Structures are given as structure tokens and as C-alpha cells.
């Protein structure tokens, strides 16, 4: 079985400050991990993914995420938040040895204040 948890429904951060959106996962084997962003009334857009290799993954719009196997986490980070980063963020996981269907978290609403 595979599952993903996004413990925060909402994250508030001031523009220019660093941001972190948390994600933890559970899989039987090794994980493939993904982050997506959803702007209001839009579909999900791919940000970045971890498949193998370097634990620090860099993606679109200046976002990055760090895979931490011991803590089973894949937190999304950005050094300096923009108001335009305000959106709904989804973490997803797929068990490498499991089905081809990723499981998504419930989403975290990021609000960046001017």
C-alpha cells in the first residue's frame, strides 16, 4: 500500500521569506515522488519529481524538494516566496514496486502575503 500525508491544510508566508510545504509518504518499497501545483480554476501543473539519484531535486519556478529516506519526507521549498506562488500544492507518491497509479495528498494551500 502507498500513502502520502500533507500535514498542513494551509501555509502562510510573507513575500520574500523562504517557504516550506511538507509531505511525508509511506510505501512498501522505494518511492517515486512528485509535486504538482494547482492555480484557481485550473488543472494540476507538474513542478518536480524524484525518481533516483541526487536527493535534492530542482524544478519549475525556483522550487526544489529534498528526498529524505530516513524521515520518509519530500518537503517542497523555495528560498524566496512570491505572491504569485499562492496556490494549492499536491504531493504524490508511487511505490516503485507497486502499481503505476500515483496516490495524491489532500493538498496544501499556500498563501503568500505581500
Partner 1 sequence: GAGVSQSPSNKVTEKGKDVELRCDPISGHTALYWYRQSLGQGLEFLIYFQGNSAPDKSGLPSDRFSAERTGGSVSTLTIQRTQQEDSAVYLCASSSGTPGIDTIYFGEGSWLTVV
Binding residues for partner 1, rule: CB under 8 A, are 32, 34, 36, 42-46, 49, 51, 90, 94, 96, 99-107
What is the number of H-type helices and E-type strands within the chain?
0, 12
Strand partners, 78: 19
Closer by beta carbon to partner 1, 9 or else 70: 9
**Nearest distance in Å: CB 9, partner 1:** 8
Instruction: Kindly state the cell numbers that stand for 84.
Output: 504569485
Contacts of residue 39, Cβ cutoff 8 Å, sequence gap at least 6: 45, 87, 88
Closer by beta carbon to partner 1, 100 or else 114: 100
Closer by beta carbon to partner 1, 31 or else 112: 31
**Nearest distance in Å: CB 25, partner 1:** 14
CA gyration radius, the chain:
13
**Nearest distance in Å: CB 6, partner 1:** 8
Amino acid at each position: 500500500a502507498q500513502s502520502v500525508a500533507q500535514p498542513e491544510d494551509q501555509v502562510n508566508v510573507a513575500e520574500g521569506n523562504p517557504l516550506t510545504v511538507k509531505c511525508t509518504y509511506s510505501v512498501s518499497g522505494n518511492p517515486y515522488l512528485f509535486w504538482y501545483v494547482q492555480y484557481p480554476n485550473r488543472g494540476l501543473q507538474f513542478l518536480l519529481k524524484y525518481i533516483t539519484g541526487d536527493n535534492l531535486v530542482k524544478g519549475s519556478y525556483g522550487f526544489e524538494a529534498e528526498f529524505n529516506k530516513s524521515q520518509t519526507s519530500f518537503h517542497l521549498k523555495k528560498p524566496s516566496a512570491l505572491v504569485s506562488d499562492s496556490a494549492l500544492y499536491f504531493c504524490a507518491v508511487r511505490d516503485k514496486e507497486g502499481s503505476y497509479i500515483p496516490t495524491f495528498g489532500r493538498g496544501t494551500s499556500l498563501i503568500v502575503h505581500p
